[in-house]
Chains A and B, each alone.
Chain A
Amino acid sequence: KQEVTQIPAALSVPEGENLVLNCSFTDSAIYNLQWFRQDPGKGLTSLLLIQSSQREQTSGRLNASLDKSSGRSTLYIAASQPGDSATYLCASPRTAGGTSYGKLTFGQGTILTVHP
């Protein structure tokens, strides 16, 4: 059974800072790991998806890494902006396929606040 943990639970930084969000998972036989953003009262926006064969993915100011051996993924946000303020969630499928295909286990999320 995959368990996903995120730290810190909340993070407040001044605008312009580079920051790192952490995600840990228990099953190293991970299929993929996905990072999402959720604004208050809204659905999820997919940010990055890393396949098990990949070590990182980049999109603009975002970079996500995956280290299966240590059971960790990090989301790096460069030059943070107030518009980055949101809850960031990581999620991974429970197992690689079968009856658990597509069923995601989510971390508790990190609430990010970027101050102007």
Chain B
Amino acid sequence: GAVVSQHPSWVICKSGTSVKIECRSLDFQATTMFWYRQFPKQSLMLMATSNEGSKATYEQGVEKDKFLINHASLTLSTLTVTSAHPEDSSFYICSAIPVLNSYEQYFGPGTRLTVT
């Protein structure tokens, strides 16, 4: 149980285009999901908190107009990187907290974004 999936697992796009990444909780409902970014050989940095039915909250320094987050249902959150640039190339990971379990987070397998 407690499986989180991400789609796609990797994507290559050209500068200036937009890319959407999906995060799904497969066997549980999640009112809260998180989006992290990880650069090579570095740890995870929280980008934003996605709450079902409300606006996402962004960490300091993260551009909300560039990283659009939508949490349309209790099992799906999407991250759209708009007008992507090479410096947006990174590993994006989402996590989810089950509604009935307030302690443990479950992480997706990550999405590798490369912007050329």
Contacts and interface: CB of A to CB of B under 8 A. Distances in A.
Contacts of A107: 43
B49 interface: yes
A6 B103 CA distance: 22
B107 interface: yes
A31 B9 CA distance: 32
A32 B43 contact: no
Contacts of A46: 104-107
Size range of the chain A interface in the assembly: 20 to 34
Nearest to B57: A99
B107 A36 contact: yes
A106 interface: yes
Interface stretch (A37-45, A69-77, A78-86): A37-45
A91 to B, nearest CB: 8
A103 interface: yes
Interface string A46-64: 1001010000000000000
A102 interface: yes
A105 B34 CA distance: 12
B43 A106 contact: yes
- The listed residue with most A CB atoms (<10 A of its CB), out of B42, B104, B107, is B107
B97 interface: yes
A109 B43 contact: yes
Interface of A: 32, 34, 36, 41-46, 49, 51, 89, 91, 99, 101-109
Interface of B: 4, 6, 32, 34, 42-46, 49, 57, 91, 93, 95, 97, 103-110, 112
Q: Which 10 A-B pairs have the closest CB atoms?
A: A44-B107, A43-B109, A43-B110, A106-B43, A43-B107, A106-B44, A108-B43, A49-B104, A102-B97, A43-B108
